[in-house]
Each structure stands twice: as C-alpha cells, then as structure tokens.
Amino acid sequence: MIVLWSGTLLAQDKNAKATVQVDGVCFMCKARIEKAAIKTKGVKTAVWSVDTHKLNLIYDARKTNLDTIQKRIAEVGHDTEKYKATDAAYESVSPCCKYRDPQIIESHN
C-alpha cells in the first residue's frame, strides 16, 4: 500500500505545463489574469497573451490543478475554457476590460 501511494506522489509533476484559453482584451486584463493565476498556491509562472488569449502555465501538480487555477481566474472576472465568471465578478473589471461587449473588443483592435 505504501509503495502504491508513494508511486502516485512521484507521478505528479512538480513542473507541469499547460495552456488555458482565457477571455480578455487588454494589458489591464493581462495583469489581472496573471496575478490571479500566480497567487494560486503551486503556480510558478503564468503568462497570458493579449493576441491569442492563451495563458501558459507552469505549476506544481502536487499543490494545485487546472480546475483550481481556472476558478481563481473566473473569480477575478475572466472567463476560461472551463469556468465562466459570475456577473458580479465580470462587472468588477474595469470598463475598458469588458471582453463580452463587441464594441469594447472592436475598440481594442
């Protein structure tokens, strides 16, 4: 039993890499998204691209997982591929960051 349990721990990657789609439109969004991700225990790096909307992560899979990271990002107002921000969280973002509004998206192009 102990051998099986220790094998499971070793199988978890302390430098897991993942890419997650996150909605946003500007550099203020970038700062908010990356901050939410990096404040999640176990996240080592988080870099979000304004152009592609992809968040590249390196994290310790022994301490966190993609669900937890995506939930934290949704809590600060940004939709991810798995979680949608609540209306209250979305309304808390700056007016120029309203990525669900077609006019705002157009103004950033």
Question: What predicted TM-score, i.e. pTM, was given to this entire model?
Answer: 0.87
pLDDT digits (tens, 9 = 90+) for 35-81: 999 999 999 999 999 999 999 999 999 999 999 999 999 999 999 99
Q: For the chain, which residues make up each domain, given as ranges? A: 11-107
User: For residue range 89-102, what is the model confidence (pLDDT) as tens digits?
Assistant: 999 999 999 999 99
Closest by Cα among 18, 76, 88, 12 to 47: 18
CATH of domain 11-107: 3.30.70.100
- Neighbour-count burial for 31-44, b at 16+ CB within 10 Å, e otherwise: ebbbebbbebeebe
